[in-house]
């Protein structure tokens, strides 16, 4: 590699909360960094920024506070800069509106000089000396740019998971909850709407439509494979699974055992918050006053196996797996709340000669978040997302993400910038 090329210490791919946390912590260090994001500006799940919804973790799980409370990119500094400190003090809440968390992250991303939007990473190449060549497409100029860096951090987040039986339909009629706020207005003229899936996103979409149902007059159904509409497991001791201590226990287990455990922990991270279930029940109770008939259906234990256009409507093929009975369900709109899957860029698989993958084509990750490599190199590719299979249920938790950023920062700088303790919680998982 010719020496006239500018060499970065680290380049981040994607600017979601995880890589933004890393960028915020590095912003106070003597590091040459760049973080690239294809969107024009920061946007965190814009389709679910519903008014009245709140972050499911305390505001202390911002970008920096749990690593460095004095960092200028903290949520409290954001509140101060917005002139809202006294109002926040009177609010007396640890949780904050989801829309405010998004606005906070946008504020931070605009202050951090290493964050660059409108730039899509199209490829990464490992050079002979261990450095990385990163190819970037600039949205404004439509030209490809080349950057050279020691380390790379992948923070590409996740993408909506739309089950195969529901694919190929018009997106204004059959859409994922990721697009709920953008498509919500199209539901108001429908005669029947069906939510498919479980968890918090399904519950929030159902609740918002339930609020509008009596004004708009549509039929509203909720179909889920789950045995019921279960609340999230949020007891204090179970929340300790979202800790570095649990990673210490979980990481060394055999991969087959890790997959088995993770599959059993759904209610730790994708159940429904108690207050959302209460809101839904209270609305239905009020609607039934005076003997009114609810134009609502709640259908657990049912999976959707197909969809077909029938005239102006859609017919869902459904199967109740306990009764072992198939039936059809007619609707105008289908809102799919079937979660997300890791967003692994195609160019990562082009590095198969350099990095290790498991039998399910998932990259292997060291405990300290480096992709496992086939040869010794002085520089590394780190994974800041897509690691639930290796690091467990807390991998998508905002609070634990800050711990991950601490570990990565220490490696990038080759010293302990942030202290990593031996233990953080009361219980032992061993």
Contacts of 399 (CB under 8 A, 6+ apart): 57, 58, 60, 61, 66, 242
Q: Count of residues for the chain? A: 430
Give the CA dihedral 239, 244, 248, 252, nearest 10 degrees. Answer: 90
* Cα of 41 vs its chain's centroid, Å: 17
**Which single residue is written with the structure tokens 């609070």?**
399
Confirm whether pTM is higher than 0.85. Answer: yes
The pLDDT averaged over each successive group of 10 residues in the chain (430 residues) is: 75 98 98 98 96 94 97 98 97 96 98 98 94 96 96 96 92 96 96 96 97 96 95 92 96 96 90 95 95 93 95 96 97 96 91 92 96 93 96 94 97 96 93
Helices (H), 223-329: 236-239, 244-250, 255-263, 266-269, 274-287
Alpha carbons 76 and 61: distance in angstroms, whole number: 11
Contact between 224 and 198 under an 8 Å Cβ cutoff? The reply is yes
Yes or no: say if 153 and 19 are a contact pair by the CB < 8 Å rule. yes
Tokens of 319: 């199967």
Its sign, for the CA torsion 119, 120, 122, 128, is: positive
Cβ-contact 43, 109 below 8 angstroms: no
The confidence score (pLDDT) of residue 5 equals 83
Look at residue 2 in the predicted model and tell me its pLDDT. 44
Mode of pairing for the β-strands spanning 192-197 and 333-337? parallel
pLDDT recorded at residue 3: 46
**Coil, strand or helix: which one is 398?**
helix
Q: What is the pLDDT of residue 4?
A: 55
**Are 218 and 187 a contacting pair, CB within 8 Å?**
yes
């Amino acid at each position: 590699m010719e020496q006239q090329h500018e060499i970065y210490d680290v380049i981040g791919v994607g600017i979601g909360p995880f890589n933004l946390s890393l960028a915020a912590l590095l912003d106070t260090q003597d590091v040459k960094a760049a973080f690239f994001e294809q969107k024009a500006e920061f946007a965190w799940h814009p389709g679910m920024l519903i008014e009245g919804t709140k972050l499911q973790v305390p505001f202390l799980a911002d970008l920096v506070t749990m690593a460095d409370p004095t960092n200028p990119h903290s949520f409290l500094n954001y509140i101060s800069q917005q002139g809202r400190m006294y109002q926040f003090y009177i609010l007396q809440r640890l949780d904050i509106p989801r829309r405010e968390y998004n606005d906070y992250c946008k504020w931070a991303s605009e202050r951090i000089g290493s964050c660059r939007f409108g730039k899509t990473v199209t490829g990464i190449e490992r050079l002979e000396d261990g450095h990385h060549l990163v190819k970037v497409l600039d949205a404004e100029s439509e030209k490809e740019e080349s950057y050279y860096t020691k380390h790379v951090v992948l923070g590409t987040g996740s993408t909506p998971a739309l089950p195969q039986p529901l694919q190929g339909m018009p997106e204004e009629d059959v859409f994922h909850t990721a697009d709920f706020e953008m498509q919500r207005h199209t539901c108001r003229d429908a005669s029947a709407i069906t939510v498919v899936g479980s968890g918090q996103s399904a519950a929030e979409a159902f609740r918002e439509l339930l609020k509008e149902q009596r004004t708009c007059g549509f039929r509203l159904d909720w179909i889920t494979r789950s045995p019921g509409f279960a609340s999230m497991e949020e007891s204090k001791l179970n929340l300790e699974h979202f800790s570095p201590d649990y990673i210490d226990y979980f990481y060394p287990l055999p991969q087959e055992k890790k997959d088995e455990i993770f599959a059993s922990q759904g209610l730790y991270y994708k159940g429904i918050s108690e207050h959302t279930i209460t809101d839904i029940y209270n609305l239905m109770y009020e609607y039934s006053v005076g003997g009114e008939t609810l134009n609502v259906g709640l259908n657990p234990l049912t999976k959707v196996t197909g969809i077909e256009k029938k005239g102006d409507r859609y017919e869902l093929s459904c199967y109740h797996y306990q009764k072992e009975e198939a039936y059809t369900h007619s609707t105008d709109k289908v809102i799919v709340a079937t979660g997300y899957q890791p967003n692994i860029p195609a160019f990562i698989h082009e590095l198969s000669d350099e990095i290790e993958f498991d039998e399910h084509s998932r990259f292997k990750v060291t405990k300290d978040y480096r992709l496992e490599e086939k040869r010794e190199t002085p520089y590394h590719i780190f994974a800041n997302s897509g690691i639930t299979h290796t690091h467990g249920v807390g991998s998508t938790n905002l609070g634990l993400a800050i711990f991950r950023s601490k570990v990565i920062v220490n490696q990038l700088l080759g010293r302990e910038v942030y202290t990593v303790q031996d233990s953080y919680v009361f219980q032992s998982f061993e």
